[in-house]
């Protein structure tokens, strides 16, 4: 028995360093994800404060400036979920006077109320960026809400809808396919293909593979800015 135990120990010993290395990898990965989450929450909190201040500082768009006379990058209204919230400061860098309303866990059904509130405040400009679809489907049971938002914004506004990147969900691909249908059906809707770009640049994403990191928020904002400039 002693000989057998010794043999088993000798066979097993070489595996111990690999097991320890594997455990260390798991711990490091968990630590990295925790750090990412903490950084993301801090980023959200900072951006939420900025958006709260924005509400008291918002200046209604002057009525004498007609929709068709305004430059494309002036008075852009942005409606979105946590992906846009995390990128809010980067958006303000490239669209300095934009008005942003973005919240964690927002789904498309909330978009119409946000648009109405913006309109009442006088900050719903001629150019609207929508970044909704991460937190649930856009078609099927929510198609009425999606169409309702588009119809409320109307045919005279330029709408830029950002495609979604949420690979762990069942609705990422169907949402993006539906958005392509929307863009064909509504001549004033332009897709901003965040999904297409970020798939080529995984280094733009945090540990959850959904929300952009600092490099990613800059890329997200630049993509929206360039889409507006190119279209307008």
Write the pLDDT tens digit of every residue in 102-124: 999 999 999 999 999 999 999 99
User: Within a domain: residue 83?
Assistant: yes
pLDDT for position 98: 94
Number of domains in the chain: 1
- pLDDT tens readout for residues 83-93: 999 999 999 99
Q: What's the CATH number where 113 sits?
A: 3.40.50.1110
68 vs 74 pLDDT, higher one: 74
Q: What is the pTM of this model?
A: 0.80
What is residue 111's predicted lDDT score, i.e. its pLDDT? Answer: 96
pLDDT digits (tens, 9 = 90+) for 126-178: 999 999 999 999 999 899 999 999 999 999 999 999 999 999 999 999 999 99
- Note down the domain range covering 182: 69-231
- pLDDT above 60: residue 8: no
State how far the Cα of 73 lies from the Cα of 96, in Å rounded to an integer.
Answer: 9
Strand-pair category, 99-102 with 158-162: unpaired
Answer yes or no: are the C-beta atoms of 164 and 108 closer than 8 Å: no
Q: Is residue 54 part of a domain?
A: no
Q: Is residue 10 part of a domain?
A: no
How does DSSP assign 49-95, residue by residue?
A: HHHHHHHHH--PPPTTS-GGGS-TTSSEEEEE-HHHHHTHHHHHHHS
Residue 71 has pLDDT above 70, yes or no: no
For residue 115, being part of any structural domain is answered with yes
Reported as a pLDDT band with limits 50, 70 and 90, residue 27 is: very low
- Within 10 Å of residue 110's Cβ, how many Cβ atoms? 18
Does residue 91 fall inside a structural domain?
A: yes
In a domain, 176, yes or no: yes
Q: Average of pLDDT values for 1-17?
A: 44
Residue 18 lies in a domain: no
**pLDDT for 125 beyond 60:** yes
The answer to whether residue 106 sits within a structural domain is yes
Residue 12 CB neighbour total at 10 angstroms:
10
How many whole angstroms separate alpha carbon 117 and alpha carbon 148?
15
């Amino acid at each position: 028995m002693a000989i057998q135990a010794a043999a088993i120990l000798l066979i097993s010993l070489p595996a111990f360093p690999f097991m320890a290395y594997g455990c260390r990898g798991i711990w490091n990965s968990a630590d990295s994800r925790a750090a990412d989450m903490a950084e993301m929450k801090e980023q959200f909190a900072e951006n939420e404060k900025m958006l709260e201040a924005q509400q008291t500082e918002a200046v209604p768009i002057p009525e004498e400036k007609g929709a068709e006379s305004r430059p494309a990058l002036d008075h852009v209204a942005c409606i979105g979920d946590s992906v846009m919230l995390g990128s809010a400061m980067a958006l303000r860098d490239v669209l300095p006077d934009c008005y942003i309303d973005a919240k964690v866990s927002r789904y498309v059904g909330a978009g119409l109320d946000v648009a109405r509130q913006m309109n009442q405040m006088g900050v719903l400009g001629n150019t609207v960026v929508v970044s909704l679809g991460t937190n649930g489907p856009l078609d099927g049971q929510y198609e009425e809400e999606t169409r309702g938002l588009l119809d409320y914004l109307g045919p005279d506004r330029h709408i830029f809808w950002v495609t979604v990147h949420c690979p762990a969900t069942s609705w990422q691909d169907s949402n993006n396919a539906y958005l392509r249908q929307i863009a064909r059906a509504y001549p004033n809707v332009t897709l901003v293909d965040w999904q297409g770009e970020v798939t080529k640049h995984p280094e733009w994403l945090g540990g959850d593979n959904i929300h952009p990191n600092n490099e990613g928020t800059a890329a997200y904002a630049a993509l929206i800015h360039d889409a507006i400039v190119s279209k307008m």
